[in-house]
Structure 1
Amino acid sequence: MKINNLVDLHCHILPAIDDGSPSLEASLKLARQAVVDGIRYILATPHHMDRHYLNHAGDVAAAVKVFQAELDANDIPLTIFPGQEVHLNGQLIKNIDDVLGIDTGRHYLLLELPHEMVPSYLDEMIFQLSCEGITPVIAHPERNAQIIAEPKRLYKLAEDGVLAQVTATSLVGTFGEQVQRTAKEFVKCGLVQVVASDAHALKNRGFAMTKAYQVLNEMDSQYPERFATNARNLLNGDKIKARRIEVPRKQRKHWLS
Structure 2
Amino acid sequence: MLDMHTHILPNVDDGSKSLDISRRLLLQEINQGITKVILTPHQNKNNLDKNGLIEKFNSFKDDVKDLNILLALGCEIYYYPELKNDLLNDKILTMDNSKYVLIEFSTRIEENISDILYDLSLTGYKIILAHIERYSYLKLSDYDEIHKYAKIQVNSKSILNKEYKKQMKYLLKNNLIDFIASDCHDLDRRNVEFMDALKYLEKKYKDTYLRVTKDFNFNN
TM-score surpassing 0.5? Answer: yes
Normalising by structure 1, report the TM-score. 0.78
Alignment partner of 1:56 out of 38, 49, 56: 49
Residue 20 in structure 1 maps to residue 15 in structure 2: yes
Q: CA deviation at 1:78?
A: 1.7
Distance 1:134 1:187 in 2: 25
The letter for the 2-side match of 1:42 is: V
Check whether the contact 2:14–2:185 (CA below 8 A) recurs between aligned residues.
yes
Match of 2:186 in 1: 201
Residue 115 in structure 1 maps to residue 115 in structure 2: no
Q: CA deviation at 1:81?
A: 0.5
Match of 2:213 in 1: 228
Does 193-202 or 56-65 show the bigger shift?
A: 56-65
Distance 1:115 1:123 in 2: 15
Check whether the contact 1:47–1:55 (CA below 8 A) recurs between aligned residues.
no
Do the aligned partners of residues 40 and 204 (structure 1) sit closer, same or farther apart at CA in structure 2, a change above 3 Å counting? same
Distance 1:215 1:64 in 2: 34
Check whether the contact 1:44–1:81 (CA below 8 A) recurs between aligned residues.
yes
Q: CA deviation at 1:190?
A: 1.6
Distance 1:70 1:172 in 2: 34
Q: CA deviation at 1:103?
A: 4.0
Q: Give the number of aligned pairs.
A: 218
Match of 1:178 in 2: 163
Do the aligned partners of residues 110 and 24 (structure 1) sit closer, same or farther apart at CA in structure 2, a change above 3 Å counting? same
Check whether the contact 1:8–1:42 (CA below 8 A) recurs between aligned residues.
yes
1:64 is paired with a residue whose SS is helix
Check whether the contact 1:16–1:22 (CA below 8 A) recurs between aligned residues.
yes
Q: CA deviation at 1:203?
A: 2.7
Distance 2:95 2:116 in 1: 18
Match of 1:165 in 2: 153
Match of 1:39 in 2: 34
Distance 1:166 1:11 in 2: 12
Aligned sequence identity (%): 24
Distance 2:141 2:61 in 1: 41
Alignment partner of 1:152 out of 141, 151, 154: 141
Check whether the contact 2:48–2:92 (CA below 8 A) recurs between aligned residues.
no
Match of 2:80 in 1: 89
Residue 127 in structure 1 maps to residue 118 in structure 2: yes
1:218 is paired with a residue whose SS is helix
Match of 2:94 in 1: 101
1:98 is paired with a residue whose SS is coil
Q: Which runs of 5+ in 2 are unaligned?
A: none
Distance 1:161 1:129 in 2: 9
Give the 5 Å matches for 1:204-223: 204-223=189-208
Deviation track 1:67-105 (CA, whole Å, cap 9, x = no partner) reads 111111xx2112211100011110101211111222423
2:133 is paired with a residue whose SS is helix
Normalising by structure 2, report the TM-score. 0.90
2:84 is paired with a residue whose SS is coil
The letter for the 2-side match of 1:165 is: Q
Q: CA deviation at 1:202?
A: 5.1
Structural RMSD (CA): 1.9
Distance 1:198 1:180 in 2: 18
1:164 is paired with a residue whose SS is strand
Q: CA deviation at 1:189?
A: 1.1
Check whether the contact 2:117–2:149 (CA below 8 A) recurs between aligned residues.
no
